Amino acid sequence: MIYLDNSATTPPYPEAVNTFTQVSQQFFGNPSSLHSVGLDTEMLLTKARSSIARLLHIAPSELIFTSGGTEGNNLAIKGAALEHQGRGKHVITTEIEHPSVKEAFFHLEKIGFEVTWLPVNNEGRLEVETLAESLREDTILVSVIHVNNELGTIQPIEEIGTVLKDWPKAVFHVDHVQGMTKVPLSFKEAHIDLCTFSAHKFHGLKGTGAIYIRSGVKLSPLFHGGSQELAHRPGTENVAGIAAMAKALRLSLEKKEKERDKMERLKENLINALDKVEGVYVNTPRKGSAPHIVNFSIPGVKPEVLIQALTKKDIHVSTRSACSSRLHEPSEVLLAAGKSRARAESAIRVSFSLETTEAEIEALLGELHSQIPELLKVMGANKK
């Protein structure tokens, strides 16, 4: 099997699965219980929290565990907006956010908040000047994705954080789900207030994630019913998943350090090869994009047809975010970046992990060279 849909989810490390299994069996107690079984589990939870915080260079008290990126983004966005609506109801985001962010902002609009949707340039990148011009005295929240999940474009988070330093009323949230372990980001140096990530994007298990909440930042919780996670996220913690996430994060960062340029080299080689395939248009920018995502279009070819043709050869790619991949509308991200409707309707996303090999990319290219001309003949003329 050649798996090239790592932006949707990654195969869990065997070490992470083993950790999950061992903790599930040996530390099954409720960490809120006062007996020794519960206290032992709480001790392990504390150890995992400290381990992740150390890797991210933050305080353990600034780390709150969630079920993943969607919950984290909703908690950050709705929690900040509801908590601080007394000082303003203007919030800002971009046109190329993940659905879990966009839908959260649509909800805020429905309940009376004013949302400014910022445009991006033809590389899918937000211009810092555009953001600066949109800030107002009643702006209470700015949310910008770090690495776009479709194009792979990296947003200028550090520069945005510098601008927002002068706007203390505005809470700065970053969706770091696609960037974690692939594109370095210092929460402190970028002046980030809230930052979300999800374990299954870096070889942990699904159903586990976290949100960084800078010390002093307050959120209104989405759930009520307990004091777990400093009352930000009530509910019995998934200790086994959290321990597995700590293991996966450490292993991923170690592997990234050892093979710093591997994914970047794979990306460059794939883009260079795709540029030579007739009928293919690369959408991912060569510079300023994450090392693990390549997005390209084949106008005139339905992406689901190509995906199924590749799947029959045991090669697995995707169209866009897994949350939207079953929708048959054109990519809103590509349209926002000024791509034609034909390109937005025919986009394919290839995404690597550190386990991806050059031979796998060569196999993909071989199939594309074989499949694309035939599909173009069947489906009609290619239109840029």
300 and 239 inside one domain: no
Q: Which of 63, 59, 97 is nearest to 77 (CA)?
A: 97
For tokens 């994007």, name the residue.
201
Question: What's the burial of 149, exposed, middle or buried (CB within 10 Å: 0-12/13-18/19+)?
Answer: buried
Domain assignment of residue 311, yes or no: yes
Is residue 323 annotated as part of the catalytic site, yes or no? yes
CATH number for position 46 = 3.40.640.10
Q: How many domains does the chain have?
A: 2
What's the domain range around 231? 14-255
Look up the pTM and report it: 0.94
Q: Tell me which amino acid residue 144 is.
A: V
Query: pLDDT per residue over 148-207, tens digit each?
Result: 999 999 999 999 999 999 999 999 999 999 999 999 999 999 999 999 999 999 999 999
Residue segments in the chain with a per-residue pLDDT below the cut of 50: 325, 381-384
130 and 271 inside one domain: no
Quote the pLDDT of residue 381. 47
264 and 238 inside one domain: no
Domain assignment of residue 194, yes or no: yes
Catalytic residue among 59, 222, 273, 323: 323
What are the CA-CA distances from residue 126 to residues 70, 99, 109, 133, 345 (Å)? 22, 17, 22, 12, 22
Rg (CA), the chain: 21
175 and 192 inside one domain: yes
236 and 349 inside one domain: no
Asked which of 202, 232, 255 is the last residue of a domain, the reply is: 255
Instruction: Give the CA-trace dihedral at 252, 253, 258, 259, to 10 degrees.
Output: 60
The answer to whether the beta carbons of residues 283 and 347 sit under 8 Å apart is yes
Domain assignment of residue 90, yes or no: yes
Domain assignment of residue 384, yes or no: no
Asked which of 255, 286, 313 is the last residue of a domain, the reply is: 255
Query: pLDDT per residue over 59-110, tens digit each?
Result: 999 999 999 999 999 999 999 999 999 999 999 999 999 999 999 999 999 9
Strand ranges (DSSP E) for 16-146?
63-66, 90-94, 114-118, 139-145
215 and 264 inside one domain: no
65 and 141 inside one domain: yes
Query: 56 CB contacts (<8 Å, ≥6 apart)?
Result: 63, 187, 212
Asked which of 238, 255, 272 is the last residue of a domain, the reply is: 255
